[in-house]
Chain A
Amino acid sequence: MEAPTPTPELPEDIVPDILKWLPVKSLVRFRCVSKSWHSLITSSSFIHMHLHFNQSRSLIILARYCDTLLSIGPQQQHQPNFNITTTTAVDGFQKAVEIDSFLLVRNLPYYVKGHCDGLICVVVNDGRDGALVLWNPSIRQYKRLPLPRNFHSTREVFGLGFDSTIGDYKVVRAPSSYCQMKIKGYRPQVEVLTLGSNTWRKIPDEDTPPFCIEHFFQATNANGALYWLVAANDEPFRCEILRFDLANEKFKVVPSPPDTFRRNVSWLGTLEGSLCAIHTQRLSYVDVWTSKDDETWTKLITIPRMPGPEASVRHSDYVPLCFTSNGAVVIGIKLEGFATYHPIENKVSKLAVQGVEHWLQETVCAESLVSPYAADEPAAARQHQIRSAHTAPRSLWQLILGVGNYFSCSSGDPRQ
């Protein structure tokens, strides 16, 4: 294609409105266009604007313990595609790609412990001291964090979140069940590392919760807090939801969603930025509950299980991963693959994703420009980080409220 003829220069404040639509790969390349574009694309205000604007452009990372990670997506949201007529196709999710740029984990035991804003917290057991890493797969950057004392690598419990009151990310080390049971002299305590400080700080003993967490759980990050499932202390075989507030660094137990069969919650996660929970799956349908305030739970969606020859045999659990632009939910089914459920058609269909056979953990994160080295920039640059209020994207509300109309933009875009 011929190079274009010069055009009238655009006012500077419009350039971000163009760039916000671009995927991370393009933006990283366009840092080389000019000094001002480099400055804009690496500014924390643009990075956070881009992150929130692209919240629904999900990336699915599959961790495979002793094997490389796989990446599916990101989901193509912004380009209208008239060829998608069936719910079985999710643009961008056709193929899983091996992430061979993150060499740290190859052939070593590792776990994803948590994620936030496109940054993933990974712990690796390298046979020596171990590694605690913040990694952004979209920009292919990772940073090793200083290790806390008495670090038991993959058997530890961590979470990653953003504290909007200080405008910085926090890594939280929480008590581990494995360490409590197996490590002599282990004292359950909670420590926090703020990226800016780069040092570990213990929280007061009186704030340390009387719970331990299984090391294979990922922390769920939502509503300004981190959440884990823990075993109840007073009732045998009961589970509770433990919440850690990122701003005031206090723990509390959150009431679980109601269940007529009094089942335990077996899965916590986020969908469209809100906390979600599922009970143990033994019925022919799966209720996904959601809460924005940690008090009231509402049913977000009910997913029927796919019928099959082994209907009587217990299937692998369904894990809701993300919503598509046409209101379907992408489901991960361990040992089986992926599926999509469209609520209006009330149908679950298989979703073919090339290149995936098995995986241990799934992490749905956003595609972002957030650098694990962000805190190394001068404090002044970070003051521009403004967290926009969470509003449910259009696709979700259309689904729930049955509103088919085009949101009127003349009264103001809810995203801005």
Chain B
Amino acid sequence: MKFCTVKQYFDDENNNNVTNGIATTVIPLPNKHLKIKANNKEMEQYEQELLRNVMPQELTKLILAANYLNFKEALDFFCRTVANAIQNKSVDYVRKFFGLESDFEPGEEEKLCKEFAWSFEGVDED
């Protein structure tokens, strides 16, 4: 099923969402997964190496690609990697990462931050 979608992707010339660079990262994954299926540790090491050169913001594009290709393992993996990347970051960093803006009423956000001040301790500097 994965490979049908991949073929469809290549045939679909109007696809602007996924750049070729991203596709070359995602597409070899099924083969690699099948090859070293038996060994969790090897897989994790392979995946860590793979992403060492990828900038955090590129991860969003990888997620879109994996989602489009309906490739569950890659999607899970990229989501987890994004989660690791943002885990200890500030609220501002996360907003910029996802292209979001604060839409709270004035004072509402302050109230929330104050109520959960303990969750802001030890957060990475931006």
Contacts and interface: CB of A to CB of B under 8 A. Distances in A.
Contacts of B91: 29-30, 32-33
A260 interface: no
B113 interface: yes
A6 B99 contact: yes
Interface in A332-383: none
B40 A7 contact: no
A278 to B, nearest CB: 31
B60 A405 contact: no
Contacts of B44: 80
A406 B101 CA distance: 40
A7 B104 contact: no
Interface string A210-221: 000000000000
Interface in A10-60: 10-11, 14-15, 17-23, 25-26, 28-38
B64 A8 contact: yes
Given A14-B79, A78-B80, A31 B73 contact: no
A9 interface: yes
Contacts of A23: 87
Interface in B35-89: 37-41, 43-45, 48, 55-57, 60-61, 63-64, 67, 72-73, 75-76, 79-80, 82-84, 86-88
B116 A79 contact: no
A238 interface: no
A404 interface: yes
A18 B79 contact: yes
Nearest to B64: A8
Given A8-B61, A10-B63, A17-B75, A33 B126 contact: no
B95 to A, nearest CB: 6
Nearest to B87: A26
A408 interface: yes
Contact of B63 (A14, A21, A34, A82): A14
B37 A406 contact: yes
A409 to B, nearest CB: 5
A3 B93 contact: yes
A9 B99 contact: yes
Given A3-B126, A30-B91, A80-B44, A409 B73 contact: yes
A30 B93 CA distance: 10
B60 A7 contact: yes
B96 interface: yes
A292 interface: no
A11 B39 contact: no
The main secondary structure of chain A at its interface with chain B is: loop
Nearest to B96: A3
Category for how many chain B residues contact A? 35 or more
A248 interface: no
Contact of A18 (B1, B57, B82, B100): B82
Contacts of B76: 17, 409, 413
Given A10-B64, A33-B91, A34-B102, A405 B80 contact: no
B103 interface: yes
Given A28-B116, A29-B116, A406-B43, A7 B72 contact: no
A312 interface: no
Contacts of A80: 41, 44-45, 48
A140 B104 contact: no
A8 B79 contact: no
Contacts of A1: 124-126
A6 B103 CA distance: 17
Given A14-B67, A80-B48, A7 B98 contact: yes
A101 B119 CA distance: 12
A22 B79 contact: no
A214 to B, nearest CB: 36
A4 interface: yes
Contacts of B97: 4, 7
Contact of B118 (A21, A79, A140): A140
B94 A30 contact: yes
A410 interface: yes
Contacts of B103: 34-36
B96 A4 contact: yes
30 contacts: A3-B96, A3-B126, A4-B55, A4-B56, A4-B97, A6-B99, A7-B60, A9-B99, A10-B64, A14-B63, A14-B75, A17-B76, A18-B82, A21-B84, A22-B83, A28-B116, A28-B119, A30-B94, A31-B116, A32-B112, A32-B116, A33-B94, A34-B95, A34-B103, A34-B104, A37-B100, A79-B84, A409-B72, A409-B73, A413-B72
Given A26-B87, A410-B2, 14 more contacts: A3-B126, A4-B57, A4-B97, A10-B63, A10-B64, A18-B86, A21-B80, A21-B84, A32-B91, A32-B104, A37-B100, A80-B44, A406-B40, A408-B37
